[in-house]
Amino acid sequence: MGIDKLPCICEIVILKLPSMRKVFLAVLLFTSVFICRAQTATDYYNKGVAFKNEKKVKEAADAFKEAIALDPDYKEALYELGWCQNDLKDYTGAVISLRKARTMWAQIPKVHFELGYAFEKTDKIDSASASYKRCLELKPDYSLAYKQLGTIAYNQNDNAVAAQNFKKYEEYSKLPITDYLYWYRRGYVNNALKNFEEAKTSLTKSLEFKKDYTNTYLELGFACKNLKQNDEAISNYKKAMELEPKSHVPLNGIGEVYRDNFKNMDEAMIWYQKVLDMNVNERKANFGMGYCLNAKGKYSEAIPYLKKAIEQEATYTAAYVELGYSYYMTSNSALAIENLNKAIGINYKNENSRYYLTLIYISQSNKTLAQKMVDELKVLNSKYVTELQEKVNKM
């Protein structure tokens, strides 16, 4: 019969014995019951480990729950249950289990890592970061903690911190890294940091493990474009088009290759027009059309496109600069100054806006404001300083 029946049976027997023997047998009985219960918890734990090794995670979690029901302070079972809950995407349950495990197993790095992962998946990002960092304090070569800290930084657009953590992950990882998404993120971060060769290497690595992820081809196209590897850039953008025919992003990418690298504005405009045929309001295509028209000397035609780009993104610095340039070249100094100053308001370090403002102030014989712009460019260590200072000196 079950253990729960024993006290009742023994109670009948004990009542018939002398008092000292009653006490002895009662102690022996409850000691035996405790030992049986502890052994049963261990049995369930071992069963859970076996299920986990067989990748039967749901069955493993159930077994660990049974072990914990019999022994609520079974720290190993609490940790393993939390691991299983993370794997089963029961992140709220994982937080509860792993917090309990942490109170008894505070010096074990893997407990902090799994708890950090559960926090991350429940959008408790500060708590996740703290847990990963505690894991690394206890075990500085815990590679996966670096990977997750890098992912958090990537999601927060903190590309420098992401890159640092990703490098540590690769340094300490004992196994080959076959996660295509990791290599994609590594490439994305390097593109953002203008490390285009490293970006290309990482993105090419990503394709080894997944060949149909559109974003990888887009980022690879961007890296190749900036490396002036134009044919490769266009090839990657076209592969992205094959995977997602309705996406405008690769069309814009090809337009930029022709605009920035080949300086072929007519060909670039063909690709931007393809985007506008899909969506007349798409901001980058409108900007691209405006830029190309300015480059072709069609300043009045550029203005509607650039205004449309700004309608879609009110903080589009480059569009304000191009629009200011369009107005400057059509002798509308007031609107040129207004838009160029808006560009500076959005991005104080913008040099092109100050360049055109200096030219406008020179044309207006306003030496004070022209010199002010040059002085600001000096602070920015701009390449325009020598050219503009000579012009101002001649006023």
- CB within 8 Å of 154: residues ≥ 6 apart: 162, 185, 188, 189
How high does pLDDT run on average in the chain? 93
pTM of the model: 0.87
Considering Cα of 109, then 113, then 118, then 124, what sign does the dihedral take? positive
Residues shown for the chain: 395
Q: Which residue has the higher pLDDT, 56 or 26?
A: 56
pLDDT at res. 24: 46
pLDDT at res. 27: 43
CA separation for the pair 279, 277 (Å, rounded): 6
Q: Does the structure show a pLDDT above 60 at 157? A: yes
pLDDT band at 230 (very low <50, low <70, confident <90, very high): very high
What confidence tens digit (pLDDT) does each residue in 78-136 have? 999 999 999 999 999 999 999 999 999 999 999 999 999 999 999 999 999 999 999 99
CA separation for the pair 391, 395 (Å, rounded): 7
Contact 68, 77 (CB under 8 A): yes
What confidence tens digit (pLDDT) does each residue in 168-221 have? 999 999 999 999 999 999 999 999 999 999 999 999 999 999 999 999 999 999
Q: Does the structure show a pLDDT above 70 at 29? A: no
Number of H-type helices and E-type strands within the chain: 22, 0
Q: Which of 244, 241, 222, 243 is nearest to 233 (CA)?
A: 222
Contact 163, 190 (CB under 8 A): yes
- CB within 8 Å of 307: residues ≥ 6 apart: 323
pLDDT at res. 357: 98
pLDDT at res. 2: 38
Q: Does the structure show a pLDDT above 90 at 15? A: no
pLDDT at res. 191: 98
pLDDT at res. 189: 98
Q: Which of 29, 27, 31 is nearest to 10 (CA)?
A: 29
pLDDT at res. 59: 98
Q: For residue 319, what are the CA distances in angstroms to 200, 215, 292?
A: 28, 25, 12
Q: Does the structure show a pLDDT above 50 at 142? A: yes
What confidence tens digit (pLDDT) does each residue in 290-349 have? 999 999 999 999 999 999 999 999 999 999 999 999 999 999 999 999 999 999 999 999
Give 133-141 contacts, CB < 8 A, sequence gap 24+: 135/109, 135/110, 136/109, 138/107, 138/108, 138/109, 138/112, 139/109, 141/172
Q: Does the structure show a pLDDT above 50 at 3? A: no
